[in-house]
């Protein structure tokens, strides 16, 4: 339920500069095109300035007050981040009751931290521990000797296989499987023999994994996702992959086995990399780009096979000119043929 908050109090809460009527009461947050007088909205992208000017919103989060003269504003350097805090204020997450639901199945030696919750029909295996304030949603399955840190949320039907470890303040969305077997087979005379995958997965603090993400356990050692990394839906992370801190992996990315991904690296939608590669810090793979060799720090990669973005743009531009070039060549061939005929 939304709660009315004076705009001046909201400015203090968000660390924003108030421009306009601080006594205005705000009851919630909406988009520019659907907001009414009692709502807060936000302007993050300058392309939507005209939408903001015509919006009925009572107040707008902005970075620059000069773009909206005469409006009640909350001015802050990062409006999008302030929006996140405003949403937390108006729509706080409801914590389930602490303890285990009667229908949950838990081994006798499971350690359940203070205010931690295990939802209906969840299963938690022997030797596992769940940190203080964490939530294990309905239907989740945690294997043996799983560790979940403090303040972490597992949404319904998440599976965490034996021995895997999840840090503090993580969010794992429904359908995700952490610790499934890596795709490892020894092929002899046309027959594929399974190689046992006996490693684990380590998910560090402040990681978010979207729905239906698959993170394979290592064959030996660890598959690791670094602190603060955010992973979108439908991403495959293969065995023994090492992902650095604060990376972004967008929907349908595929990371092949034993790759090492640096810090602050971005994989855009449907991009990926071949196995056993080293991808440097700050690398960006644009949509559908595929790395097939090691990539140094700071490179933007596009296309298949992946190559520097500027080179890829030049190649595409040249491809667009091929039709005209073909016509010119045919015209030249015809003129040359006519010239040769005239000399006979």
Computed on alpha carbons and rounded to an integer, the radius of gyration of the chain in Å comes to 27
The CATH architecture that domain 5-90 belongs to is 3-Layer(aba) Sandwich (3.40)
**Would you state the pLDDT for residue 8?**
97
pLDDT of residue 242: 98
Residue 331 confidence (pLDDT): 86
Domain range annotation of the chain? 5-90, 100-310, 318-343
Under a CB-based contact definition with an 8 Å cutoff, are residues 218 and 200 in contact?
yes
Query: Is CATH 3.40.50.12160 correct for 100-310?
Result: no
Residue 1 has pLDDT above 60, yes or no: no
Is residue 341 scored above 90 in pLDDT?
no
CA distance linking residue 257 with residue 193, whole number of Å: 18
Give this prediction's pTM: 0.91
Show the 3-state SS of 201-261: EEECCCCEECCCCEEECCCCCEEEECCCCEECCCCEECCCCEECCCCEECCCCEECCCCEE
pLDDT (0 to 100) of residue 222: 98
Q: Looking at the annotation, which residues are catalytic?
A: 239
Q: What is the mean pLDDT of the chain?
A: 95
For residue 90, the model assigns a pLDDT of: 95
Q: What is the pLDDT of residue 257?
A: 97
Q: Binning pLDDT at 50, 70 and 90, where does residue 180 land?
A: very high
pLDDT of residue 322: 87
pLDDT digit string, tens, across residues 32-90 = 999 999 999 999 999 999 999 999 999 999 999 999 999 999 999 999 999 999 999 99
Tell me if domain 5-90 and domain 100-310 are identical in fold: no
Mean pLDDT along residues 278-282: 98
Query: Is the pLDDT confidence value at 343 over 80?
Result: no
Task: Please tell me the predicted confidence (pLDDT) of residue 342.
Answer: 81
**pLDDT at position 2, please?**
57
Residue with token string 């971005």: 266
């Amino acid at each position: 339920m939304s709660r009315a908050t004076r705009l001046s109090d909201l400015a203090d809460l968000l660390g924003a500069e108030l421009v306009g009527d601080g006594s205005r009461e705000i009851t919630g947050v909406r988009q520019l095109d659907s907001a009414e007088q009692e709502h807060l909205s936000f302007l993050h992208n300058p392309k939507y300035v005209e939408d903001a000017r015509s919006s009925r919103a009572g107040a707008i989060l902005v970075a620059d007050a000069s773009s909206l003269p005469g409006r009640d504003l909350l001015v802050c350097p990062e409006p999008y981040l302030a929006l996140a805090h405003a949403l937390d204020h108006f729509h706080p997450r409801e914590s389930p009751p602490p303890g285990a639901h009667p229908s949950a199945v838990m081994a006798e030696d499971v350690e359940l931290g203070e205010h931690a919750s295990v939802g209906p029909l969840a299963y938690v295996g022997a030797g596992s521990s769940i940190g203080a304030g964490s939530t294990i949603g309905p239907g989740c399955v945690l294997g043996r000797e799983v560790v979940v840190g403090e303040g972490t949320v597992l949404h319904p039907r998440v599976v965490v296989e034996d021995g895997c470890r999840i840090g503090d303040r993580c969010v794992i969305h429904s359908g995700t499987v952490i610790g499934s077997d890596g795709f490892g087979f020894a092929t002899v005379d046309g027959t594929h023999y399974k190689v046992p995958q006996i490693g684990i997965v380590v998910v560090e603090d402040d990681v978010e994994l979207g729905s239906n993400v698959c993170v394979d356990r290592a064959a030996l050692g660890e598959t690791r996702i670094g602190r603060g990394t955010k992973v979108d839906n439908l991403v495959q992370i293969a065995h023994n992959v090492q992902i650095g801190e604060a990376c972004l992996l967008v929907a349908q990315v595929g990371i092949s086995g034993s790759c090492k991904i640096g810090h602050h690296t971005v994989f855009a939608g449907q991009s990926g990399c071949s196995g056993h590669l080293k991808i440097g810090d700050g690398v960006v793979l644009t949509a559908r780009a595929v790395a097939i060799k090691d990539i140094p720090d700071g490179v933007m990669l596009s296309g298949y096979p992946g190559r520097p973005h500027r080179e890829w743009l030049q190649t595409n531009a040249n491809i667009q000119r091929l039709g005209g070039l073909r016509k010119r060549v045919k015209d030249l061939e015809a003129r040359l043929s006519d010239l040769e005929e005239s000399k006979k």
